[in-house]
Amino acid sequence: MKTDSFLDRMQLLVTDLDGTLLGPRPEFKHYNDFRDLLGRLRRNPGFNWVICTGRSLASFQRIFLPLGSFGIVPDCVITSHAYIYQRQTWGYLPHLLWNIHIRNLQWRHMIRMRIALPRLRKILARETPFARVTGLDRFHVGFRFDDDHTSDDTNDRRRPW
């Protein structure tokens, strides 16, 4: 398959931001080539370029300024690996129903974690005398084994989980 025919049929390009489009320092010499490639791809009917990043929208906009000054602007941005924003002429419009749904899911999972982690800590303290709980926060339980042998799954002690 020729590369040209593949590019002529492409309808979606999803990229990361940090380490993919933006390295440790700006590579301005490549920005014009990338802008030209996007222009070619945008001639394809229904083509969209999406950036999916772990950054917030404000952080994305701040860090993306160098590419925007070259005319390189994505059609959509997915921030925090979950929230969707579509580019408009005046800025980015949130996909309201999806973003509310995601926030609701995150809130429910956070409540479940606040209940489950203290229970897990109690089970670990009671059932594993060879391990010591070293920390507990909203999303993590840390524990340390007495020695390497007790952390090995090959020993015969039956665990409750």
Phi, psi of 147, rounded to the nearest 5 degrees: -155, 175
At 83 the three-state DSSP class reads strand
Q: Give the pLDDT band of residue 2 (cuts 50, 70, 90).
A: low
pLDDT at position 161? 44
Unique residue bearing structure tokens 């990338």: 34
Mean pLDDT of 7-19: 86
Asked whether residue 19 carries a pLDDT value surpassing 80, the answer given is no
Residue 68 to residues 32, 57, 154, Cα–Cα distance (Å): 11, 14, 55
Residue 64 neighbours by CB under 8 Å, 6+ apart: 17, 22, 51
Asked whether residue 34 carries a pLDDT value surpassing 50, the answer given is yes
Calpha distance 87→18 (Å, rounded): 20
Calpha distance 138→141 (Å, rounded): 9
Calpha distance 65→83 (Å, rounded): 20
pLDDT at position 70? 83
- Choose among 53, 48, 44: nearest CA to 21: 53
pLDDT at position 154? 47
pLDDT at position 22? 67
Q: Give the pLDDT band of residue 153 (cuts 50, 70, 90).
A: low
Asked whether residue 37 carries a pLDDT value surpassing 70, the answer given is yes
Asked whether residue 50 carries a pLDDT value surpassing 50, the answer given is yes
Unique residue bearing structure tokens 């931001």: 17
Calpha distance 124→143 (Å, rounded): 8
